[in-house]
Amino acid sequence: MGRVLMTLAAAAAVVACSVATMVVRRRMKGRRKWRKVVGILKDLEEACETPLGRLRQMVDAIAVEMQAGLVSEGGSKLKMLLTFVDDLPNGSERGTYYALHLGGSYFRIIRVHLGGQRSTLEVQDIERHSIPTSLMNSTSEVLFDFLASSLQMFIEKEGNMFNLAQPVKRELAFTFSFPVKQTSLSSGVLIKWTKGFAISEMAGEDIAECLQGALNKRGLDIRVAALVNDTVGALSFGHFHDPDTIAAVVFGTGSNACYLERTDAIIKCQNPRTTSGSMVVNMEWGNFWSSRLPRTSYDIELDAESMNSNDMGFEKMIGGMYLGDIVRRVILRMSQESDIFGPISSILSTPFILRTNSVSAMHEDDTPELLKVARILKDLGVAEVPLKVRKLVVKICDVVTRRAARLAAAGIAGILKKVGRDGSGGGRRSDKQIMRRTVVAVEGGLYLNYRMFREYMDEALRDILGEDVAQHVVVKAMEDGSSIGSALLLASSQSVQTIQSV
C-alpha cells in the first residue's frame, strides 16, 4: 500500500514538474515573442525619430527646394505652380457665387452670398458627399457627368429663390485638389492624378473645360469662371478674414500648401503680369523629397505597392490617406512575427482597410480598458487581445502620427523661412520689432479632426521657431475654407456682379 502511494506521489511529482516546465517554457516563449514585438516597435520609433536638429534640416531643405522650383521649370520636386492669383479677397466682395470642390475623399458644393463686408458672408447652402470609389478609376466622362449631375440637383433645390426677371447666369469656382498647370485663373491642365485617383487619358486635359462641357451637355447655364487649387481656396478664405494670412496648408486625404510670393522671386516666369507685385504659388509639396526624411521599411513597401510609386513621398508620410495604412503595416508585421495578435487576420492584410479616422479613435481612446481599440482591432479580424497589446497599438498610432505632424510643422516652417518670416533673417532673431504677425490658414479633415496630430504639429512648430518667433505666427484652422474661399476668390476677380440675392 505504502509502495503504491509512493509510486503515485512520484508520478504526481513528475507530472507537476513537467507541467511547471511547460508553463515556464510557454512563458519564456511568450516573453520571447513579446520581446520580438517590442523590438519591432523600438525599430519603428528609431526610424521615425524627428529630433529638432533633423526638423531644422527639413526646414532648410524645403526652403532650398522652393527656391529651386521658382528658378526653373522642373528644377525641383516641388513644382511651385503659378496660380495667376495676385489679389486675394479682402471682405469687400459682393454677389452670389458657387463652388464645386473635388477633394481626395469628398466633393462639396456650396453657394455663398457676399454683402460687401466680412460680417455679411453667408454660406447659404453646403453639401458634402463621399466620392464613390468607383469614380476614382472611371473615365473622364463619367467623373464630370457625375459632378455636373450633382450640381444640377443642388441648383434644382433652389426652386425659384432668385426670382429674377432675366435668366440667371451662375458663376462657379471649381476647386480642384490635384496638381494642375494653370494657364489662367479660369483654366489649367491636369498634370497627374494623386491620392488613389487613376482616370486614364486625362493628364494634359483642361479641367475647367471638362467640367464646362459636362454642364453644357446637361443644359445648365453655369459658367466655370475660376479653377482654384484647394490650398489657394483656403488662403483666400484666410485672407478674407485676416489680411495677415500669407500661406495655407491642407491636411486632408493628401497634403499641399500655397503661399504668397513676390513676383520678382518667381524667376521662371518672365512676365507674371500682376498689379500687386506678388502671386500665390501652389507648391504641390506632397511631392517634396529629401534623403533626410525619416523613412521606414513600411513607407518603402507602401510606396512600392502604390499606384504612384516614387512619387508624392512627403504626402505618403503625412497625408490622411496613408497614415492608417502605415499603422496597419506595422501591426501586420508584428502579427506575422509573433502570435500576440492571434492567427494572422486576412482582413489585416488588405491595403487601406485601416482608415486614419480609426487611427485617431484608437490614439485618443480614453477608456481605461481601451475598448475603442479593442473594437477597431476586432473589425480588423483581431479579437480579444490583452490590454498590453492594445496599449502597444496605441503606441504605434502615436509614433506614426507624431512623425507626420512634426514633418508637417517643418513644412510650414520651411515656407516661413522662404518668405523671411521665421525670424532667422540676418541674425535679427532677437529683434522683436521686425517680426510681423503671420497667419497660416490650415484646413483638411486630418488637422481638423485629429487632436493629437494638431497638438504635435503646433508643438513642433513652436520648437522649430522658438518662442520669440512663434508668438507672431498664428495657425488658423478653417473648416470648408477651400470651398468657400474659392467662391470668394472668384468674387474678388469679377468686376461685374452676377446674381443678386432676393
Q: Which residues make up the interface to ligand ADP (CB under 6 A)?
A: 103-106, 177, 252-253, 320-321, 356-357, 360, 444-446, 449-450
Q: Which does 446 bind (CB under 5 to 8 A by kind): ligand ADP, Mg ion, none?
A: ligand ADP
d(CA 276, CA 70): 18
CB-nearer residue toward ligand ADP: 65 or 480: 480
> Which parts of 137-166 interact with Mg ion (CB under 5 A)?
none
Residue nearest to ligand ADP (CB): 320
- Smallest gap from Cβ 178 to ligand ADP, in A, equals 11
> Which parts of 217-246 interact with Mg ion (CB under 5 A)?
230
Vertex 442 angle, CA 440 and 445, to 5°: 170
d(CA 67, CA 61): 10
- Smallest gap from Cβ 128 to ligand ADP, in A, equals 8
Contacts for 335 with CB less than 8 Å, ≥ 6 apart: 341, 342, 344, 345, 348, 382
Instruction: Give how far the C-alpha of residue 291 lies from the chain's centroid of Cα atoms, to the nearest Å.
Output: 21
CB-nearer residue toward Mg ion: 370 or 442: 442
Locate 478 and state its grid cell.
Answer: 478653417
d(CA 124, CA 118): 15
**Amino acid, single-letter form, for residue 57:** Q
Q: Is 20 exposed, middle or buried (0-12, 13-18, 19+ CB in 10 A)?
A: exposed
Q: Which does 345 bind (CB under 5 to 8 A by kind): ligand ADP, Mg ion, none?
A: none
- Smallest gap from Cβ 253 to ligand ADP, in A, equals 3
- Smallest gap from Cβ 105 to Mg ion, in A, equals 8
How many chain residues bind Mg ion (CB under 5 A)? Answer: 3
- Smallest gap from Cβ 194 to ligand ADP, in A, equals 11
In 3D space, the residue among 77, 90, 55, 69 whose CA is nearest the CA of residue 422 turns out to be 55
Q: Is 343 exposed, middle or buried (0-12, 13-18, 19+ CB in 10 A)?
A: exposed
CB-nearer residue toward Mg ion: 413 or 446: 446
179 binds Mg ion (CB under 5 A): no
CB-nearer residue toward ligand ADP: 424 or 483: 483
Stretch that binds Mg ion, among 22-30, 103-111, 237-245, 372-380 (CB under 5 A): 103-111
Q: Is 125 exposed, middle or buried (0-12, 13-18, 19+ CB in 10 A)?
A: middle
252 binds Mg ion (CB under 5 A): yes
d(CA 37, CA 14): 34
d(CA 144, CA 210): 7
Q: Which does 360 bind (CB under 5 to 8 A by kind): Mg ion, ligand ADP, none?
A: ligand ADP
Stated as kind and residue range, the H or E segment containing 225 is strand 222-229
d(CA 104, CA 308): 15
- Smallest gap from Cβ 436 to ligand ADP, in A, equals 29
CB-nearer residue toward Mg ion: 95 or 103: 103
DSSP states of 288-312 as a string?
Answer: ---TTS---HHHHHHHHHSTTTTS-
Cβ atoms within 10 Å, residue 460: 22
Stretch that binds Mg ion, among 251-259, 304-312, 332-340, 361-369 (CB under 5 A): 251-259
- Smallest gap from Cβ 287 to ligand ADP, in A, equals 17
In 3D space, the residue among 224, 130, 134 whose CA is nearest the CA of residue 174 turns out to be 224
- Smallest gap from Cβ 109 to ligand ADP, in A, equals 13
CB-nearer residue toward ligand ADP: 138 or 449: 449
CB-nearer residue toward ligand ADP: 252 or 381: 252
CB-nearer residue toward ligand ADP: 105 or 335: 105
- Smallest gap from Cβ 448 to ligand ADP, in A, equals 7
- Smallest gap from Cβ 104 to Mg ion, in A, equals 6
Q: C-alpha dihedral over 444, 448, 451, 456, to 10 degrees?
A: 50
Q: Tell me the C-alpha to C-alpha distance, in Å, between residue 317 and each of 54, 75, 301.
A: 16, 23, 12
CB-nearer residue toward ligand ADP: 105 or 287: 105
- Smallest gap from Cβ 472 to ligand ADP, in A, equals 27
103 binds Mg ion (CB under 5 A): yes
CB-nearer residue toward Mg ion: 69 or 103: 103
d(CA 99, CA 153): 14
> Which parts of 322-351 interact with Mg ion (CB under 5 A)?
none
d(CA 68, CA 55): 20
In 3D space, the residue among 234, 252, 258 whose CA is nearest the CA of residue 322 turns out to be 252
**Amino acid, single-letter form, for residue 408:** A
CB-nearer residue toward ligand ADP: 194 or 338: 194
Q: Which does 498 bind (CB under 5 to 8 A by kind): ligand ADP, Mg ion, none?
A: none
Binding residues for Mg ion, rule: CB under 5 A, are 103, 230, 252
